[in-house]
Structure 1
Amino acid sequence: MATFTQWLEGARPRTWPAAIAPVLLGTGCAAALGARHWDRALLALVVAVALEIGVNYANDYSDGIRGTDDDRSAGPVRLVGQKLAAPAQVKTAAFASFGLAALAGLLLVALSGAWWMLAVGAAAIVAAWFYTGGSHPYGYLGLGEIFVFVFFGLVAVLGTQLTQAASITLAGWAGAVGVGALSCAILMANNVRDIPTDSETGKRTLAVRLGDVPARRTYVAMVAWAFLASLVGAAQHPGAALSLAAIGLAVRPAQAVLGGAQGRALIPVLAATGRLTLAYGLAYGLGAALWPSW
């Protein structure tokens, strides 16, 4: 039976910044409009983190029963692949997380009145499951980055801003693109590490499809794209440019990726990209809130 620590590792905390950063950024963009609701921000955070944990457990379950994780020698704990927990237990943990996200989302739309977002939330849960679940998982076709960009970039940021400020701004869109690109970079770092085993098991992630060197360059391009988005956001809310201060956190992981780090040497890159994403979202949101106009 898996220990608490192993369950926590299975939830992959290194990826949680991809859920926290967009809520910080979206709340900052809402505050820049004079609208700040901490209760709604907290509910949005619960939705995002619970969805992230749910998709991580769902991936563990689906990859585990397919045998994709049987020969992993690097990366986080695989509860099913390493036979630490029964597949049914991990599947239950995934759906419990999705249930928590759905409940918090229902409360959020009730407070904001944006009832149409229930459909968006339902789509997010369905997409989270079929990333590696079902008979034709789109994550195995190289489409995982699309899910991450849409739901942990656009939907998370703009949904947070909309449910607090009842509107969406240019700075919100730019920040959503930026944090979405960084979230994709987290996934790319993970998948570059797994190219050898994914290639053998038929998991055709974008990294596998691109090949090792192009995938590494794509990682750097995703990071660079985020900082270009900051400049667009600063055109409306100049404080958004504060996110450029996070560039320093991008140097080491970019060097490691371009330098050809393999296997376990890429695990620190995953964590560093998560810290970069969190710093970016916090700096962008805080800057926009404190310096909303020229």
Structure 2
Amino acid sequence: MATVSEWIEGARPRTLPNAIAPVVAGTGAAIALDAFSWWRALLALLVALSLIVGVNFANDYSDGIRGTDENRVGPLRLVGSGTAAPKAVLRAALACLGLAGVLGLALVALSGYWWLLAMGGLCILGAWFYTGGKKPYGYYGFGEIAVFVFFGLAGVLGTLYVQAGRVSWEGLGCAVAVGCFSMAVLVANNLRDIPTDLESGKRTLATRLGDRGTRRMYLTLVTVPYLLTIALGVVHPLLFITFVTAPMLLKSVQAVGGGRKGRELIPALRDTGLAMLAWAVLSVVALAF
């Protein structure tokens, strides 16, 4: 039976910035429109956190029963390591996704934007079928696109819309930036796992692009948010303060660009996620003024 600390590790807390950053950035865009609502932002954050923990447990369960995680390098996999029973991890995944659904329904009902139920439903389905079902899209190279859509566009613009009732150019720029950061986290993860994914038949985008192509993609993705900062900074000069987050990526860029492999790439996931969160927080500060 897994301990509490093992369950926490299995939830993959290092991925939480991927859930927090889009809500923070979307709230910053709402502030720029004088439409900030603390309780709607809080509910959106709880939905995002429930979704990402749910998808992490669902990923653990689905990969575990397929045998994909048997030789995986990285954080503890509950099912693959035999630490927790598959049914227990499945129940945890469904509980988190169910909680996200309930919180999302409450947010939609209180805000009155009922069409967002469709988007919420797609997010839950996307969380499950990433590695679940007979033909999980994460096994066919579409995981990065899903991350960009769900934790970039949907996360940022959804948070903005439930507060402001509309989207803005600032919100769209933040959505693309956060989406690229989130994709970069997954690309670094899948770059690390290329050898084991090839063995298990998991055809991620990284296995399709190959080692060199995946490294180039990572470097491109972490550059895009700062190019968007320059574009948005023409209207909101204070956004240039987000450039102070660039040094946080230095070691990650050196590791990926320098050909590091396996466990040596694990810090790149953490540092990319933290840089994304810091960028989002500073964007809020800039847009607030």
Distance 1:104 1:229 in 2: 32
Q: Match of 2:140?
A: 141
Q: State the distance in 1 between where 2:265 and 2:34 align.
A: 41
Deviation string for 1:168-223 (max 9, x for gaps)? 10010000000000000000111011000001111011111100111011101000
Aligned counterparts, 1:128-277, within 5 A: 128-277=127-276
Secondary structure, in 3 states, of the residue corresponding to 1:168?
coil
Secondary structure of 2:82 counterpart: coil
SS in 2 for 1:211: helix
The 2-side partners of 1:32 and 1:124 are apart by 26
Matches within 5 A, 1:4-153: 4-72=4-72, 74-153=73-152
1:175 & 1:119 partners in 2: Cα distance? 22
| Partner AA of 1:85 in structure 2 | A
Gap regions ≥5 residues in structure 1? none
Moved over 6 A (4+): none
AA at the equivalent of 1:18: N
In structure 2, the CA distance between the partners of 1:198 and 1:246, relative to structure 1 (3 Å rule), is same
How far apart in 2 are the matches of 1:130 and 1:251? Answer: 34
Query: What secondary structure does 2:184 align onto?
Result: helix
Distance 1:194 1:34 in 2: 44
The letter for the 2-side match of 1:187 is L
TM-score computed with the length of structure 1 as normaliser: 0.96
Q: Give distance in 1, aligned partners of 2:251 and 2:49.
A: 26
CA distance in 2, matches of 1:243, 1:169: 19
Which amino acid is the alignment partner of residue 58 of structure 1?
A: A
How far apart, in 2, do the equivalents of 1:133 and 1:7 lie? 20
1:63-115 Cα distance to aligned partner (Å, 9 max, x none): 0000000112x211100000111111111111111111111111111222111
Task: For structure 2, list consecutive stretches of 5 or more residues without a partner in the other structure.
Answer: none
Alpha-carbon shift at residue 236 of structure 1 (Å): 4.0
Rounded to whole Å, the distance in 2 between the matches of 1:51 and 1:282 is 21
Aligned counterparts of 1:233 and 1:114: Cα–Cα separation in 2? 28
Aligned residue type for 1:68: T
Please state whether the residue corresponding to 1:83 is helix, strand or coil. Answer: coil
Output the TM-score relative to the length of structure 2: 0.98
Check conservation: 1:246, 1:279, Cα contact below 8 A.
yes
Aligned to 1:282: 281
- Give 1:3's aligned residue: 3
Q: CA deviation at 1:130?
A: 0.4
**In structure 1, how many angstroms separate the alpha carbons of the residues matched to 2:261 and 2:97?**
33
Q: In the aligned structure 2, how far is the partner of 1:35 from the partner of 1:241?
A: 23
Q: Secondary structure at the match of 2:60?
A: helix
CA contact under 8 A between 1:171 and 1:237: conserved in structure 2?
Answer: no
Letter of the 1:24 partner, please give it: V
Letter in 1 for 2:60: D
Instruction: Give the direction of change, closer, same or farther, for the CA distance of 1:126–1:4 in structure 2 (3 Å limit).
Output: same
Q: Give secondary structure in 2 for the equivalent of 1:203.
A: coil
Identity of aligned residues (%): 55
How many angstroms apart in 2 are the aligned matches of 1:27 and 1:108? 15
Give the aligned CA root-mean-square deviation in angstroms.
Answer: 1.0
Residue 13 of structure 1 deviates from its aligned partner by 0.8
